[in-house]
Amino acid sequence: MSFIKTALGSAAALAVLAGAALAEPALMYDLGGKFDKSFNEAAYNGAQRWAEETGESYQEIEVTAEAQRVQFATRLAEAGYNPIVVLGFQNAATVEEVAPKYPDTKFAIIDVSWLDIPNLQQISFAEHEGSYLVGMLAAMASKSGTVGFIGGMDVPLIRHFACGYAQGAKAVNPDINVVANMTGTTPAAWNDPVKGGELTKGQISQGADVVYAAAGGTGVGVLQAAADGNILSIGVDSNQNYLHPGKVLTSMLKRVDNAVYDVFKNGVDGFEPGVMTMGLDNDGVGYALDEYNEALITDEMKAAVDDAKAKIIAGDIEVVSYYANDSCPALDF
Amino acid sequence: MEFLTLLQVLDSSVRLATPLLFACLAGLFSERAGIFDIGLEGKMLAAAFFSAAFAAVSGSVWIGLLAGIGASMVLSLIHGLASITFRGNQLISGVAINFLASGLTVLIAQDWFQQGGRTPSLSGGARFNEITLPFADTLRDVAYLGPIYSDLISGHTALVYVAFLTVPLTWYVLFRTRFGLRLRAVGENPAAVDTAGISVIRLRFTAVLICGVLCGLAGAYLATGLQAGFVREMSSGRGYIALAALIFAKWRPWYALWACLLFGFLQALSLRPDAVTALVQVRVPGQFLDALPYILTVVILAGFVGKATPPRAGGEPYVKER
C-alpha cells in the first residue's frame, strides 16, 4: 500500500503546489536529484535542519528535465512560496526569467554571482580554496606522484574545482602529475557512474593513487572504482567519507546546507539581496575529518593544511580562480 | 601508443562492449523475428534496478540476476502483447517501455530504499567479482602474450565471458537450427511460415522473450558487474547505441560482435584523451569520439559501406486474414 501512496503522492505533488498559498519557503533542486549524496543532498540537509529546529515546513521540487526549470520556478512563485531557493548555476537563466516577474518574492540562487536582480540573493562558494586544501592532502597521501581529478559535466564551475585542486597538489609537490578528465558535456554526465568508474580505472592505470571526484551522481562510481582498485578517493560537496570507510581520503565540503539554512532562517524579513561569497573564512568550504578517515590523515598533513588555510584567509597564499581569466595556471584542460 | 596503454584501453573496451553486446544480440533476436525494439534501453534499465535491488536485499548476486532477467522479460511480454497480440505500433510500444522503466525504477527504488532512487551499494557476494583465469599470474611474464592473457582476457566478471559465448550460440541457433530458420523466416515473410502450419504468434513471442533474457543480462551486468548498485538512468543511452550497433552489424551475430567491440573501443578511447593525443599528435575532442558510433551508423545507413537491409517484415504486425 505504501507503494501506491508514493505513486499517488508524486502524481499529486504538482496539484498540491498549485493550491498552497502560505508564505512557506521553497527549495528547487537541480538535475542530479535530491539524494545525489552530494550537492543537492547538502541543500536538503540544510532545509531539513531548519525544519526540525523551527518545526515549520517547506516545499521542495526536483527538476528532472531541462524544460521544467522555468515552469517549476514559476509555479513556486505563483503559489506564493517565499523565499525560494534555487540550486545550481544551470538555473541562472531560470531566475533571470522568473524573478523579475515576481518582484515581491525573494529568490536565492546557489553557485551564481553574476546577475543583477533586486529581489535575488546570489550565493557563490570559493570552491577553489576548498579544493586547494584537498589537493594538498592528495599530494601528501600520494606515493606514486600522480593524482587524478574526475569532473562531471565540462563546465567552468567544475574546471574551477579542478584548478584549485591542481594548485594545492603542486604547492606540496611541484613535480606532481595531475590527470584530469571530464565525464561528458551534457547533463547526463552528472549521472553516469559506469563511465565514472571506467575513467577511474583509466586514471589508476596512468599511475594515479588518489582521485578527486567533483561529479555529482557519477562520483558514486568513481569512489566505488577507487575502493575496488585499492586507491584513495576524495568526495565532494557533502561529507562522503562514510561511503567507503578507510578508502575515502577526505571530502571537499561545500556547505550548501548552511547557505540554504541561512536563507530559510532569515526568511523574507531578513533577506539580503546581492552577492554573498562563502569561503574558508566563513566556513563555507573546507575538508572533512571524521572517524572514517582519521587514520588516513596524519598529524603532519593536518598541520600543513591548517597552516595553508590560515594563510589563504590572511591573503598570504592566493589561490587563482579559474573564472579570473578562464584558464588555470596549474592545469591544462 | 605504448603496448601497455593499448592493453588498458582494450581491457576497458571489453568491459564497455559487454552491455552493448548483450543488448545488440537481444535486438537481433527480436528484429530478426520482425519485431522492432526501441525498448532495449528501458529493459536494460529495469533489469539493472531489479538485479541490484534483489542482490542488495538477498545478498546473492544470482538471485539479483534472476530478478533482473525476470523484470526485463515482463517488459518484453508487455511489448509482445502490444505489438504482436494487439498489433500496435512497435516503435510506440518500445518508447512507452523506455518511459515506463525510467520512471518506475526511480519510484520503486525510492519506496524500497529511501535513498533517492538508488539502491544501497553492493559488496561481497552481492555483486559479480572479477574472475582470474587459471595460470594468469604465472604467464604474466611471457612477452606480449602473457599480459594479453592475464590482463585482457583474464580478470573480467563472469557475465563478460557469457556475453562473448552468446555470439557463437546466437549464430548457431539462428543459422543452424530449425527454430532459427523459422525465426528468420517469420521476420522476412510471416505468411509463408503461417502457410507451413507454424504459429507466427508463438515464434514472435519466443523471440521477444529471448530478447528480454539478453537485455536482463545487459542490465544486471551494468548494476552488479561494472558498478555496485543502481543509480537512476544508469543505462545512459547504451540501449540506443546497441541499436546503432545492430544496424552497423547488418543484423548478423558475428558482425554484431565486431560492431560492439568497435563502439566499446571508441568509448574507451574517449576516456583516455592522453593516449589519443599521444597517438595522433593532435588534440581530439572527446565529444567527437563519443559521436563516432552514431556517425558511423549514419554512414552505413546512407549506403557508403555495403548495404544494411533490415528484415523485410520488420515493424509490421502480422494479420492472418483481411
Q: What are the residue ranges in chain B where pLDDT is below 50?
A: none
Helix (H, G, I), strand (E, B) or coil at A30: coil
Q: Is B219 helix (H, G, I), strand (E, B) or coil?
A: helix
The per-residue pLDDT for range B230-283, each reduced to its tens digit, is: 988 888 889 999 999 998 898 999 999 999 999 999 888 888 877 888 778 887
Residue given cell 594538498 in the structure block = A136
ipTM: 0.83
Residues linked to residue A27 through DSSP beta bridges, in sequence order? A60, A85
Closest-CA distance, B216 to chain A, in angstroms, reads 17
Q: Is B225 on the interface with A (CB under 8 A)?
A: no
The residues, ordered by sequence, that sit 6+ positions from A159 with a Cβ below 8 Å of its Cβ are: A151, A322, A328, A333
- Name which residue leads in pLDDT, A28 or B302: A28
3-class SS at A125?
Answer: strand
Q: Which residues of B touch A41 (CB under 8 A)?
A: 116
- Answer whether residue A75 shows pLDDT above 90: yes
Phi, psi (degrees; rounded to nearest 5) at A75: -60, -45
The pLDDT of residue A19: 43
Contact A326, A156 (CB under 8 A): yes
Check CB contact of B286 with chain A, cutoff 8 Å.
yes
CB atoms within 10 A of CB A268: 12
Architecture of domain A2-126+257-278: 3-Layer(aba) Sandwich (3.40)
**First-to-last CA distance in chain B?**
62
Beta-carbon count within 10 A of B322 CB: 3
**Residue A284: what residue type?**
G
Closest-CA residue of chain B to A183: B271
Q: Tell me the pLDDT tens digit for each residue of A215-248.
A: 988 898 999 999 999 999 999 988 999 989 999 9
Say how many C-beta atoms besides its own lie within 10 A of residue B132's C-beta.
12
The cell for A43 is 541543500
Pick the CATH number of B3-125+145-301 from 1.20.120, 1.10.287, 1.10.3470, 1.10.150: 1.10.3470
CB count within 10 Å of CB B117 equals 24
pLDDT given at position A20: 43
pLDDT at B16: 92
The per-residue DSSP string of A153-187 comes to E-SHHHHHHHHHHHHHHHHH-TT-EEEEEEEESSG
Q: What pLDDT sits at residue B272? A: 83
Buried-state track A178-202, b at ≥16 Cβ within 10 A, e below 16: bbbbbbbeebbbbbbbbbbbbbbbb
Residue of A3, A33, A199 with shortest CB distance to B117? A33
- Residue-level pLDDT at A65: 82
* Contact criterion met (CB below 8 Å) for B187 and B34: yes
* pLDDT over 70 (residue A323): yes
SS3 B279: helix
To the nearest 5 percent, what fractions of chain B are helix, strand and coil? 70, 0, 25
* CATH 3.40.50.2300, applies to A129-253+285-325: yes
Distance CA A129, CA B31 (A): 55
Nearest residue of A to residue B232, measured between CA atoms: A191
CB-CB neighbors (< 8 A) of A35 in chain B: 115-118
**The pLDDT of residue A291:** 93
Q: Could you count the other beta carbons within 10 Å of the beta carbon of residue B126?
A: 24
Concatenating the DSSP letter of every residue in B208-219 gives HHHHHHHHHHHH
- B183 inside 8 A of chain A by CB: no
**Neighbouring C-alpha atoms within 13 Å toward the C-beta of B130:** 16
Over range A261-281, report the average pLDDT. Answer: 90
Q: In A, which residues are within 8 Å of B226 by CB distance?
A: 194, 197-198
Distance CA A329, CA A322 (A): 9
Residues of B in contact with A33 (CB under 8 A): 116-117, 232
Question: How do B156-157 and B130-131 pair as beta strands?
Answer: antiparallel
Burial class of residue A269, CB neighbours in 10 A (0-12, 13-18, 19+): exposed
Rounded to two decimals, what is the model's pTM?
Answer: 0.84
For residues B27 and B19, is the Cβ–Cβ distance under 8 A? no
The pLDDT score that the predictor gives to residue A253 is 93
**B256 contacts B28 by C-beta, under 8 angstroms:** yes
Q: In this structure, are residues B186 and B203 in contact, taking their beta carbons and an 8 Å threshold?
A: yes
Longest distance between any two alpha carbons in chain A, whole Å = 61
From the CA atom positions of chain B, what is the Rg in Å?
Answer: 20
Contact state of A41 with B273 under an 8 Å Cβ cutoff: no
pLDDT in tens, A135-184: 999 999 999 999 999 999 988 999 999 999 999 999 999 999 999 999 98
Task: Give chain A positions within 8 Å (CB) of B274.
Answer: 179, 206
CA A236/CA A253 separation, integer angstroms? 6
User: What is the Cα–Cα distance from A75 to A59, expressed in whole angstroms?
Assistant: 11
Report yes or no: B22 and B166 within 8 Å, Cβ to Cβ.
Answer: yes
Tell me if A28 sits within 8 A of A72, measured CB to CB.
yes
CA A332 distance to own-chain centroid? 23
Phi-psi region of A216 (alpha: psi -120 to 50; beta: other; left: phi over 0): left
- CATH 3.40.50.2300 segments of chain A: 2-126+257-278, 129-253+285-325
**Band of the pLDDT at A12, cuts 50, 70, 90?**
very low
Confidence band, pLDDT 50/70/90 cuts, at residue A15:
very low
Do B12 and A220 lie within an 8 Å CB cutoff?
A: no
**Residue A18 pLDDT level (bands cut at 50, 70, 90):** very low
**If pLDDT is split at 50, 70 and 90, which confidence band does A3 have?**
low
Which residue reads 529471448 in cell numbers?
A: B210
Does residue A11 register a pLDDT over 70?
no
- Per-residue pLDDT of A77-88, as tens digits, reads 999 999 999 999
Task: Summarize pLDDT for A276-313 with one digit per residue, the tens.
Answer: 999 999 889 999 999 999 999 999 999 999 999 999 99
